[in-house]
Structure 1
Amino acid sequence: MRTRSNPGPRAALSAAVTAALAVGLFLTGGLGLSPWTGASNDHARPAASGPSGGGDPLAADISTLQDGLRRQPQDPLALATLGLDYVQQARNTADPTYYPKAEEVLQRSLAQQPQDNFAALGGLAALANGRHDFARALDQARRAVAANPYNSSLYGTLADALTQLGRYDEAADAVQRMVDLHPGTPSLARASYVAELRGDTGTARTDMRRALQDAAGPADQAFAHYYLAELAGNSGDPATELKEAEAGLAAAPGYTALLQAKARAEAAQGDTAAALADLGAATRRVPQPEYVLQLGELYQAAGRTREAEQQYQLFRAEQRLLTDNGVAQDSDAALFEADHGSPEQALAIARTGLRTRPFLDSHDALAWALHRTGQDRAALAEADQALAQGTRSALFHFHRAMIQAGLGDTAAERADLGAALAINPHFHPLHAAEATAALAALGGQG
């Protein structure tokens, strides 16, 4: 999302920095709930300023900045802006090799201007969020806010780190400060997520509707429609999910995340062929790990095991690439290994992930890994932590139901299975059917 004014060359460049910071979370670190499950998957909402068709304006911005820096290599603001663009492009293209490039130019900016360089500090915070180094992100974001306490976008980056570190009340305070300073699409989207984490989906929808009304252009509209679609889908309303996805695609046909949302709704409505086509198209455009994994699970649910395994192998390769470029593994990789690989490896990843990212979905991933390795008593404590904020997550309840089954508590198992299917009977291509069958076997209704 770009600012609406153009107050002059230097100020305009600063505005570009602010715009990049404003979407830093949605690029790199942690608002998004997984489109299938309601649990955080790749920790990233798609950028409000992401590609929307008609070429790649971000690539053009990067090229322009690179050309300018060849002529004036010691411009700290241009370096900071380029660093933020690299962070954004890593998300847009699913190419984490942009992260080392971002770090290099952001550090150069800070070396050129060590004092009051809020743009570079904010960029380093966004980069750390992207790499899932949330403690470092918090430190850099605090330094950035101290340098410029009136920049609303910096409070968003601060809130992102606080959220992933499980400091939810502090994150909510930072989001409120962001809204107070600038009640626009980035701040209202974060406010929506604060409400969603607390289980207040009504307020979450209201805030995203406000974000849509404030949208400055087609990409902002697509961004808001995507999250309205996700809120509907996670609440078991695929018809509204499909409607929002189609409205977003009408505004921005090239907004890839909306194909993912459309596929999710089509799968929930039983149109597997259409879902595979749309999710396949999204994956070919931008091979985000979450798209790849979801496509694999959809193939597996359809009995197409060869195609599913191809996607799982690609997911594994992408995880290695992320690790090679400084991105810490956490709940995504842990859940994948628990469901499709090695439970022991899942447990190791989940334990490390919880130490560095004590967010609710890290507790859920550890709970599921513990269950898969036969440690249900410890798993139940983690499952309770995952739901402690009141988050309405069908996947979390399903995981807890299976843990309760392992402990022999039939009544608790039935209650959690019922909760999962009441929240969203289509919450996962594989586990939703398991939940329905398990509840039926207990004499309940799916």
Structure 2
Amino acid sequence: MTLHLRRRTHRRTLLSASVTTVLGVGLFLAGGLGLAPWQTAPAGTGTGRGAEGAAPAADPLAADITGVQAHLRQTPDDAVALATLGLDYVQQAKATADPTYYPKAEGVLQRSLTLAPADNFTALGGMAALEAGRHHFAEALAWAKRAVAANTYNASLYGTLADAYTQLGRYSEAADAVQHMVDLRPGAPSLSRASYVAELRGDIATARTDMQRALNDAAGPADQAFAYYYLGELAFNNGDPGTELAEAEAGLRVAPTYTALLQAKAHAEAALGRTDAAITDLTQAVQRVPQPEYVLQLGELYQSLGRTEEADQQYQVFRAEQKLFTANGVALDSDAALFEADHGSARQALAIARQGLATRPFMDSHDALAWALHANGQDREALTESDQALAQGTRNALFHYHRGMIEQSLGDTTAARTDLTQALTINPHFNPLHAPQAQAALATLR
């Protein structure tokens, strides 16, 4: 499905004595791709929104939270302020990798809905964002539908709807929601999601074009940094670490505290053989914001260099973070399953992967289950799950590597050779541990 830019004139601006609703353009990650949905701030409070990956000390989101909290001490029954605070808490959880903000968010969002149960689209959308952050995507979809019904002209709510559909594996419906978002507001947030729709179906040229348009339409440094990050990711994931490095450096020039760009820079540096620089940048990223993805990336880089003690330290941090996430209501899925399959318990990997697929039937979950089944010697079932992971035509080197290793275990050397070759053709640097393993396996099949 191709998304088209079509303009509509419908807009809705809600103004009152106490609040101004703004369709936000700040971006952050929610599952595969997300954005700071919308902003409804009490008069006199800060309106800044940080992006995931920004250094906490430089993030205006903390000031925004403080301002809304101060307003609520004076006016505790302001339903819009409570909804705004809930959204801020959800975003802060993502920005800081601190899931303890999720229970706080739920409390204030539910209070907002109790005070204003009718047409409270800010709190409804906040609940959708919260459940997406906790990887409860069926619940996120239900809340997103209610939010859209309450305000059919808010483009960002359609982005939240698209995110839930995507993670539930309902790709056509996700594309329709993104198209509606583009129709309502053809700017950086909608174009970013259009880029992701194209990437998932393997149309990298369109994905790159849409993300470049998102960069051109970016409203400020945080949005520019987000776009530079994903332009770099598109390049790296398709075997071009040099371009990823250039995009990351360009992003850091406009947003020096955007931590995700340090992670991207390290990605590229490691692929280009600049491992000392990669470790320096990735260590700084982890120290700023200990995102599990960064921690695991650093551990695997250390392991690839034979620095096993330092790798094990990072893996211990990753495990501790997973416990903290589950303690705060976050459902584990593909990342945790792949970690256990590669570095821990195959049996635990399979349990996590099966549960993850039940709550998040996204392509990543099918791939994780395939790899967990392979780790447990169940390769026939694993191959079926791998088929599902690749059914949309996604260009993903890791998926093809997993499939190739499964096929090798099944004795299908021709298919294994094809998939391992495809993995290394898409991105010969896709993982510091698995890319060399793919090369070694391929050498035995020639």
Q: TM-score, normalised by structure 1?
A: 0.92
Inter-CA distance 69–11: structure 2 relative to 1 (3 Å threshold): closer
Provide Cα deviations, 1:36-79, integer angstroms capped at 9, x if missing partner: xxxxxxxxxx9757637873210000000000000000111111
Report the counterpart of residue 430 of structure 2 in structure 1. Answer: 427
Report the counterpart of residue 259 of structure 2 in structure 1. Answer: 256
Runs of 4+ in 1 over 6 A off after TM superposition: 6-9
**How far apart in 2 are the matches of 1:183 and 1:176?**
9
Whether the aligned pair in 2 keeps the contact of 1:52 and 1:253 (CA below 8 Å) is no
Determine if the alignment matches structure 1 residue 313 to structure 2 residue 316.
yes
Letter in 2 for 1:278: D
Determine if the alignment matches structure 1 residue 31 to structure 2 residue 38.
no
Runs (5+) with no aligned partner, structure 2: 1-12, 35-48
**How far apart in 1 are the matches of 2:55 and 2:279?**
22
**How far apart in 2 are the matches of 1:53 and 1:366?**
34
User: Counterpart of 1:14 in 2: which secondary structure?
Assistant: strand
Q: TM-score, normalised by structure 2?
A: 0.92
Report the counterpart of residue 81 of structure 1 in structure 2. Answer: 84
Which of 14, 31, 34 matches 2:21?
14
**How far apart in 2 are the matches of 1:171 and 1:402?**
31
Report the counterpart of residue 8 of structure 2 in structure 1. Answer: none
User: Counterpart of 2:105 in 1: which secondary structure?
Assistant: helix
Report the counterpart of residue 145 of structure 1 in structure 2. Answer: 148
User: Counterpart of 1:28 in 2: which secondary structure?
Assistant: coil
Inter-CA distance 177–309: structure 2 relative to 1 (3 Å threshold): same
Which of 325, 333, 345 matches 2:336?
333
- The Cα shift of 1:31 comes to 2.5
Provide Cα deviations, 1:396-437, integer angstroms capped at 9, x if missing partner: 000000000010000000000010000000000100000111
Letter in 2 for 1:220: D
Inter-CA distance 293–47: structure 2 relative to 1 (3 Å threshold): farther
User: Counterpart of 1:435 in 2: which secondary structure?
Assistant: helix
Inter-CA distance 299–49: structure 2 relative to 1 (3 Å threshold): closer
Inter-CA distance 294–362: structure 2 relative to 1 (3 Å threshold): same
Structure 1 residues 271-286: aligned runs within 5 Å: 271-286=274-289
Whether the aligned pair in 1 keeps the contact of 2:102 and 2:328 (CA below 8 Å) is yes
Determine if the alignment matches structure 1 residue 90 to structure 2 residue 97.
no
Whether the aligned pair in 1 keeps the contact of 2:130 and 2:140 (CA below 8 Å) is yes
Inter-CA distance 50–10: structure 2 relative to 1 (3 Å threshold): farther
Which of 226, 231, 234 matches 1:228?
231
Whether the aligned pair in 1 keeps the contact of 2:87 and 2:105 (CA below 8 Å) is yes
- The Cα shift of 1:282 comes to 0.2
**How far apart in 2 are the matches of 1:13 and 1:303?**
55
- The Cα shift of 1:382 comes to 0.2
Letter in 1 for 2:244: E
**How far apart in 2 are the matches of 1:49 and 1:281?**
15
**How far apart in 1 are the matches of 2:420 and 2:120?**
51
Letter in 1 for 2:313: Q
Whether the aligned pair in 2 keeps the contact of 1:52 and 1:252 (CA below 8 Å) is no
- The Cα shift of 1:340 comes to 0.1
Report the counterpart of residue 103 of structure 2 in structure 1. Answer: 100
Provide Cα deviations, 1:152-174, integer angstroms capped at 9, x if missing partner: 00000000000000000000000
- The Cα shift of 1:186 comes to 1.1
Q: How many residues align?
A: 421
- The Cα shift of 1:344 comes to 0.5
**How far apart in 2 are the matches of 1:300 and 1:49?**
27
**How far apart in 2 are the matches of 1:12 and 1:185?**
24
**How far apart in 1 are the matches of 2:300 and 2:288?**
19
**How far apart in 2 are the matches of 1:289 and 1:13?**
36
Runs (5+) with no aligned partner, structure 1: 1-5, 33-45
- The Cα shift of 1:439 comes to 1.2
Whether the aligned pair in 2 keeps the contact of 1:47 and 1:223 (CA below 8 Å) is no
Letter in 1 for 2:204: T
Letter in 2 for 1:14: T
- The Cα shift of 1:10 comes to 5.5
Report the counterpart of residue 65 of structure 2 in structure 1. Answer: 62
Report the counterpart of residue 124 of structure 2 in structure 1. Answer: 121
Whether the aligned pair in 2 keeps the contact of 1:53 and 1:252 (CA below 8 Å) is no
Which of 377, 384, 389 matches 2:387?
384
Whether the aligned pair in 2 keeps the contact of 1:87 and 1:102 (CA below 8 Å) is yes
Determine if the alignment matches structure 1 residue 156 to structure 2 residue 163.
no
- The Cα shift of 1:28 comes to 2.9
**How far apart in 2 are the matches of 1:215 and 1:52?**
20
**How far apart in 1 are the matches of 2:81 and 2:417?**
57
Which of 185, 191, 197 matches 2:188?
185
Q: Give the RMSD, CA atoms, in angstroms.
A: 1.8
- The Cα shift of 1:8 comes to 6.5
**How far apart in 1 are the matches of 2:50 and 2:414?**
43
Letter in 1 for 2:24: A
**How far apart in 2 are the matches of 1:196 and 1:413?**
24
Report the counterpart of residue 416 of structure 1 in structure 2. Answer: 419
Whether the aligned pair in 2 keeps the contact of 1:166 and 1:357 (CA below 8 Å) is yes
Provide Cα deviations, 1:180-205, integer angstroms capped at 9, x if missing partner: 10111111110000000000000000
Determine if the alignment matches structure 1 residue 364 to structure 2 residue 367.
yes
- The Cα shift of 1:14 comes to 1.9
**How far apart in 1 are the matches of 2:313 and 2:53?**
28
Identity of aligned residues (%): 72
- The Cα shift of 1:12 comes to 5.7
User: Counterpart of 1:19 in 2: which secondary structure?
Assistant: coil
Which of 71, 75, 93 matches 1:72?
75
Report the counterpart of residue 352 of structure 1 in structure 2. Answer: 355
The one of the two structures with greater contact order (alpha-carbon pairs below 8 A, sep at least 6) is 1
Whether the aligned pair in 1 keeps the contact of 2:338 and 2:372 (CA below 8 Å) is yes
Whether the aligned pair in 2 keeps the contact of 1:50 and 1:219 (CA below 8 Å) is no
User: Counterpart of 1:428 in 2: which secondary structure?
Assistant: coil
